[in-house]
Amino acid sequence: MLKRSENMGKTRVDESAAIFDFDGTLVDSYTPRKNTHKKVAAFLLKPLGIKSSDANRRTMLQIISKIDIEMHQNKIYDRNLWWKEAATHYFGKTTEISESTLIRASTLYWELIKKKSTVYPGVKSILRILKRRGIKLGLVSDTDGLKGMKTERIEASGLRRFFDATVVSGEETIEVKPHSEPFALMSERLGIPAERCVSVGDNPETDVDGGLKLGMKVVIIRSKETRNVKDPQPYYLVDRKRLMNLIIRLLEEVK
């Protein structure tokens, strides 16, 4: 039986869904990262018995920035492992660092990211318009590696109220993106077949394959990482200011 959309608006596109990624798509959590790394770098020196000088802080910051890139590439999101790795890099050998120090560094990190993240301009209006058209909205985001933190950050962003369902992959699913499991779970939660879903993200590495495999239309917002990627791709690449029009067009196509 067809599920009717609760909002019986006039220009409604029925029985379709738009699924969004969180970081880099709806919320800018990348800009505050550098400053957050600085704070964590300064924090880690004392428990590691390193003198708190500008030079040492800088060295630790460079190490953390490098680890950030490597860990994201390897989809390792547990920050405790990042700081452990940072200490190893600093000393050039494995070194003792207590579990409570790791936890305190991770808490400092996430509290700062949560506080300093901002919703991208235009995001709320896109979500509002889609919702008014009766389109189901889903949010699929990978775990932050600290159970419950992603959910807390989604709440803190003020965007939770727009979504009919959320999936934190790696917490509610075994697999993280780009695996199709989190997208399949979202399609099930929304009650919308994957072929009638448009999935929107910012990272071709994580936000394309899972949705595509299930038959979703996939949209990637252009960023400085994807500025040199050329069309055609099996997904749509779009500037943020043209995102709304593209989503609407694709939702019309999948209807």
Nearer to Mg ion by Cβ, of 32 and 47: the residue is 32
Q: Quick one: which of 54, 42, 128 has its CA closest to 86?
A: 42
What's the residue count for the chain?
255
Report the nearest approach of Mg ion to the CB of residue 226 (Å): 12
Is the peptide bond preceding residue 232 cis, with omega within 30 degrees of 0?
A: yes
Report the nearest approach of Mg ion to the CB of residue 178 (Å): 11
Residue nearest Mg ion, Cβ-based: 24
How far is the C-alpha of 27 from the C-alpha of 21, rounded, in Å?
9
Report the nearest approach of Mg ion to the CB of residue 77 (Å): 12
Nearer to Mg ion by Cβ, of 140 and 246: the residue is 140
Q: Which residues bind Mg ion (CB under 5 A)?
A: 21, 23-24, 202-203
Nearer to Mg ion by Cβ, of 23 and 171: the residue is 23
Nearer to Mg ion by Cβ, of 23 and 144: the residue is 23
How far is the C-alpha of 228 from the C-alpha of 222, rounded, in Å?
9
Report the nearest approach of Mg ion to the CB of residue 201 (Å): 6
How far is the C-alpha of 255 from the C-alpha of 244, rounded, in Å?
17
Nearer to Mg ion by Cβ, of 102 and 219: the residue is 219
How far is the C-alpha of 36 from the C-alpha of 55, rounded, in Å?
18
| Residue 180 three-state SS | coil
Report the nearest approach of Mg ion to the CB of residue 37 (Å): 18
From first CA to last CA, the distance across the chain in angstroms is: 16
Cα 122 to the center of its chain, rounded Å: 17
Count helices and strands in the chain by DSSP H and E runs: 10, 8
How far is the C-alpha of 145 from the C-alpha of 85, rounded, in Å?
15
Nearer to Mg ion by Cβ, of 117 and 203: the residue is 203
Report the nearest approach of Mg ion to the CB of residue 202 (Å): 4
Across-strand partners of 118? 28
